[in-house]
Chain A
Amino acid sequence: MTSVMLKDVKVELNERTILKHTNMELMEGKVTTIIGPNGCGKSTMLKTISRIISAKEGGVYINDMDIRQMKSKDIAKKISILSQKNRLQYDVRVRDLVGFSRYPHLKRFQSLKPDDYKIIDWALKETGANEFSERMMSELSGGQAQRVWISLLLAQGADVLLLDEPTTYLDIHHQLETLNIVRRLNEQTKQTVVMVLHDINHAIKYSDHLVIMNEGEIIESGHPSDVLTNDILNNVFNINGKITTDPLTGKPILADYDLFCQTVKEVHHGS
């Protein structure tokens, strides 16, 4: 198991504070979802954990070791990240792309070994991407491509998976498909999953733990039933939401929502 802790992390980009002194410990083996309005620091948090962005103050600790003192390849064996925009500038065969994931496990000058190919095959199969593993990435639909990216994440073999908006740009079917894969894998492998989502109902449905952020701070965190209230929606997202209980699952559900200010709509209707 791998424990990941953020201790008093402060992040600045272009002299603007994106994350204000944040403390968080990732829930081992659980699915955690971070929600919050645009620009609240969700993506920055994931990027800081995976050292794509470095903290100005405080630090990220993996098994009580500061990531700044760890070898980059050793971190890559513990934490893998799926970026928000995985737009490939260069085309590549699916199987070869997933093959890159074994990079942290290879020594200098070493190429892929039979064991690595076994792991790649397993990862492709887990997401169903084995059906098109000989095709080029440019030939795939958005949903298929996302399955490939998740295979890459799996084959990297890290305990902690960070997913930055894994459902953006996908239609509703493929959003659910992607999230189902993530949850199934989490149940099978007990990997720690931290993702950023925009859809509040998805966040409730697929998470053990919710983290709600606003303006670079964690406002609330805990089990979805405990933290999600009308007040939070009101204050954080500035929407008029109605949380009720789903009669089938007993979980909370965002049943209806609208903006507080209706004037724009009314003027439009009246014209």
Chain B
Amino acid sequence: MDRKWYPLPIVVMGILLSFVLAMMFGTNTYTLKEVFDVIFNLNMTDQSHQILYEIRMPRVLGALLAGFMISISGLVLQSVTHNELSEPSILGVNAGANLAIILAALLLPALPFVGVMASGFIGGMIVGLFILSMTRYRSPMHLILAGAGISLLLYAVTDFLVITFNLGQYVAFFTAGGAAGQSMSNIAIVFPIAVVLVIILLFLSKELDVLLFGDEMAVSLGQNQTLYRRVTLTLAIMLASMAVAMVGNVVFLGLLVPHIIKMLFGNLHRFTIIYTGLAGGIIFALADTLARVFNETPVNAIIAVIGLPFFIYIIKKRGAKYA
């Protein structure tokens, strides 16, 4: 077995540890015993148990899941577009989801929260796939330019609607990003889909490797580049759209986590997909915990504050080799 798999048990432990920490700390602090009781010995008449089970656990699991999806999506986008700065928002997913949520609020005011999330997912998918098909899956540079341009247009429309109909309060939760307001039923829907999509990506890891290492190599090895670009980008858009529907505009995570993992584990996708996903979950869950501890500070700010120094440290230490 490749020695790059040796750290895997530690990372899986990290998921469990971050789950427990995230359950314990927040606006209110709970003991380790209470957390374990909620999992193994739930008593719904106990008020702490009730809060932990119904509010905090969905939030923590949602954060783990969203971090997992956003980071893997960012990894795939970086590889396929050959662009170090790629992250899910470059394909217009965030802009599409934002607009769809505003439209849903205007046209279907009675829609429950699940419906709002679903409309975000659909909006992200539509815009992401539209940009993909518009650029005919060919040049990565076209993709990035089209994504940036259309995102700007959609944000402008969104802002116009928000200002005209005075919806600022309503969209704040979404544009700021955050894992609040999750429910176990949402997670039960998203989790299996995310797992299936990531398993498909794992099966495509050698295709992603060949795509990453460039056009001439892909042609020389006989890869159908157009097909695999299309398939992998579609999977990435689905993951990003689900994440954006759950936790809003989370930025920087999808850029940061794949880079950290690639610096540590190299560029082969059979390693990076798993590690990126798990590390993304851990980082987002911990960032969300800090957000709760510090009076619901926007989670984007927390990610930037804890992520950036780490990022700079790794670039300085490993940057020469990585570049």
Contact = CB atoms under 8 A, between A and B. Distances in A.
Binding partners A and B: yes
Interface in B249-289: 266-268, 270
Nearest to A139: B321
A142 to B, nearest CB: 18
B218 to A, nearest CB: 9
A243 B115 CA distance: 82
Contacts of B210: 100, 103
A91 interface: yes
Given A100-B209, A100-B210, A136-B321, A91 B266 contact: yes
Contact of A52 (B209, B213, B219): B219
B219 A103 contact: no
A104 B267 CA distance: 20
Contacts of A109: 203-204
Contact of A104 (B212, B222, B270): B222
A103 B219 CA distance: 11
A91 B206 contact: no
B192 to A, nearest CB: 20
Given A100-B213, A111-B270, A51 B219 contact: yes
A90 B216 CA distance: 14
Interface string B200-215: 0001101001101110
A72 B215 CA distance: 14
Q: DSSP majority for the A interface?
A: mixed
Contacts of A51: 219
Interface string A72-103: 11111100110100001111110011001101
B267 A52 contact: no
A80 B220 contact: yes
B31 interface: no
A109 B223 CA distance: 13
Interface residues of A, number: 31
Contact of A76 (B209, B214, B221, B267): B221
A75 B220 CA distance: 9
Contacts, number: 64
Contacts of B219: 50-52, 72
Contacts of A89: 82, 213-214
B222 A76 contact: yes
B221 A156 contact: yes
Interface string B140-178: 000000000000000000000000000000000000000
Contacts of B209: 100
A259 interface: no
A101 B217 CA distance: 9
A225 B178 CA distance: 76
Given A72-B223, A76-B220, A92 B206 contact: no
Contacts of B82: 89
A138 interface: yes
A143 B322 CA distance: 21
Interface in B184-237: 203-204, 206, 209-210, 212-214, 216-217, 219-224
B177 to A, nearest CB: 30
Given A103-B206, A111-B206, A136-B321, 14 more contacts: A50-B220, A51-B219, A52-B219, A52-B220, A72-B223, A73-B222, A89-B82, A90-B213, A90-B267, A91-B321, A92-B267, A100-B213, A109-B204, A156-B221
Q: 6 nearest interchain CB pairs?
A: A76-B222, A73-B222, A72-B222, A103-B221, A109-B203, A104-B222
7 contacts: A73-B222, A75-B222, A90-B213, A91-B321, A100-B213, A103-B206, A138-B321
